[in-house]
Amino acid sequence: MPADFNDTALLTLRRQSLILGAFALLLFILGNHQEAAIGFDSRFVMFANEMLRHGPGFFPTTYGQPYADYSATSTVFTWLLALPFGKVTSLTAWLPTAIASATLVTLMYRLVAPQSTTWALVSVALLLLSMTFITETRAVSLDQMLAAVSFSAFYLAYSHDHFGTPRRHFWLLALLVLGFAIRGPIGLVIPTGILCSYYLLNGQWRRLISVGLQALALLVLCIGTLLMLAWISGGEAFVHEVIRMQVTGRMDGTEGASSALYYFTSSMGNYALAYPLAVVVLVAILVAGRKQSGPALQLVKYCVAAALVVMIGLSIPQAKKARYLLPMLPMAAIIAAYPFQVMSGRVFGALRGLIQGLFLLLPGTLIVGLVVVRQRFGEQLPSLTATFVILAVLQVLALGLLFKAQWRVAGLAACAVLALWSSYITVFEPAERSLYDTRTFTLKAMQLIDQAPAPVVLHGMGKDAKAINFMVNVDRDLLPLFTQSPAELTALPSPVWIVMDRKDYQALQGSELGNMAPALSGRFDKNDYVLLHLP
């Protein structure tokens, strides 16, 4: 912390961080009150729906049975928020993730602003400009919650040494337990790795060993508790399923495998602009060599170590997905914005110009991109008039800020963030939800089923895949039957309702079912589906 930085200034920055976090939270939840669940969100909304009907448990449930891949922690968050409304909405489903994202914004500003408020604001902007951050914030994301837990642990350790705050060791351990409760073993290992990297670089060997041993003890205790709760919830078979889903399945690649360098290469796109700029900035720091020093550079080193721990650690399991790497993103954003702390040197000056140029051009670039997209996919897009107006205003405002040196950097960053988020909220998100809609077909199907009650068969719809996209829109308990082959369909007793992909229906032409006229046809999760009634 700078020598002239006093307690009053620190309190002021904390208030600013809370205001910034509050504005970020408003942006994160804007317009998401009654959105239909699609894709991966459907699973978590179904968890919450069943919990709302049957009460909380140790694990979420689907079809009334405990689900092994997650503990019930995140579902309990949604359940508590949904209780006053009596139903799960997109707001209650997304709000825990939005709060986690706002926490990241608040703590990032609070961490970096004592060095430079400009550095802090650009760091926040680069965080908010990552598409992976945007898509995960506007969804149910356990990995975003874990990112908030991990960064909170990093902040607590750093703030004690540099801001003179209490050590708060209890809260560090509580964060590790919370990480496990949210994300399983990986939720404890990642923040522990980040903490250990900090203590290692800081030369705090006793703290390193102490926290490492305590984290190991917590991991053993938490795993034992998890397995005990699994046994209570579903017996020995469910215990083995929990072990497979949460540990061995991710390590051995049975849930999908990627190369060891996947995160280092794919992040160039998945975490742009922050990650590629961070790589360039690190090269610039290496070129500058000993010319750079001080607490700001030390903070960058801590962030580099933490980011590498996350990337290398997550590269060990065979199962890899872009969202798993979210705990790395705040570190990358801080590193990428470092040129706004270093005011000397041509290379860093060029990087400041590059980043500001990207901020300046983003609204106009989005306008051009939307024009091209409208020409190709016009019928699938909502009205773009309001979006074009917003982007045009932001572009004019950004150009005007070029002549206001005092507001230039923060203003350009704000224009870029608002341009990207407004485009996502008003164009991309509605188009995606229309394309992958499952609510319309399901509600129409259930209206017909209610008129002539009979068992419901979901044909060719995986119990943990397409079927969940159907079930998430059913407002009561329903135990459907599942079939995969034409022979299973033939053996079904009547009466029965059958939901299937139109391609599967067309493959039945010539059979009794294939000659029946569908009771309902419609789009379901980007495909054509039919509802058949066998009287």
- Tell whether 370 and 283 lie within a shared domain: no
How far apart, in whole angstroms, are the C-alpha atoms of residue 39 and residue 436? Answer: 7
Where is the domain boundary, 377, 403, 435? 435
Last residue of a domain, one of 340, 367, 399: 340
Same domain, 404 and 444: no
What integer pLDDT is reported at residue 287 of this predicted model? 87
Do residues 446 and 461 both lie within one domain?
Answer: yes
The verdict on 285 and 389 lying in the same domain is: no
Number of domains, the chain: 3
User: How wide is the angle at C-alpha 157 spanned by C-alphas 152 and 160, nearest 5°?
Assistant: 120
| Pairing state between β 65-66 and 61-62 | antiparallel
Name the one residue in this structure whose structure tokens are 């960064």: 151
Of 435, 466, 485, the one marking the end of a domain is 435
CB 383 within 8 A of CB 434: no
Looking at the fold, whether 388 and 524 belong to one and the same domain comes out as: no
C-alpha torsion 40→45→47→50, nearest 10: -150
Q: What CA–CA distance (Å, rounded) separates 44 from 258?
A: 25
The letter for the amino acid at 334 is I
Say if 451 falls within a structural domain.
Answer: yes
Quote the DSSP letter at residue 461: -
d(CA 143, CA 321): 10
Within-domain flag for 319: yes
Distance, in Å, from the CA atom of 355 to the CA atom of 335, rounded to the nearest integer, reads 13
CA distance 81 to 93: 8
The ranges of the chain with pLDDT < 50 are 3
| CB count in 10 Å sphere of residue 4 | 6
Q: Are 333 and 379 in a shared domain?
A: no
**Is residue 282 located within the same domain as residue 424?**
no
Any domain includes 1: no
In this structure, the number of other CB atoms found within 10 A of the CB of residue 320 comes to 21
- Please give the pLDDT value at position 19: 97
Task: Note whether 384 and 427 are within 8 A (CB).
Answer: yes
Whether residue 136 is contained in a domain is answered as: yes
CA nearest 24: which of 129, 166, 113, 149?
129
Q: What is the pLDDT of residues 353-365, one digit of tens each?
A: 999 999 999 999 9
What are the φ/ψ torsions at residue 492 (nearest 5 degrees)? -70, 135
Q: Which two tokens stand for residue 486?
A: 């034409």
Domain containing 408: what range?
346-435
pLDDT at 3: 47
C-alpha–C-alpha distance, residues 494 and 129, integer Å: 54
Do 361 and 502 have their domain in common? Answer: no
For residue range 296-322, list pLDDT tens digits in order: 999 999 999 999 999 999 999 888 899
Residues 90 and 204 reside in one and the same domain:
yes
Q: Tell me, yes or no, whether 361 and 388 share the same domain.
A: yes
Residue at 192 is within a domain? yes
Question: Are residues 240 and 174 part of one domain?
Answer: yes
**2 in a structural domain:** no
Instruction: Confirm whether 490 is domain-assigned.
Output: yes
In a domain, 242, yes or no: yes
Helix, strand and coil content of the chain, in percent to the nearest 5, comes to: 70, 5, 25
- Is residue 324 located within the same domain as residue 361? no
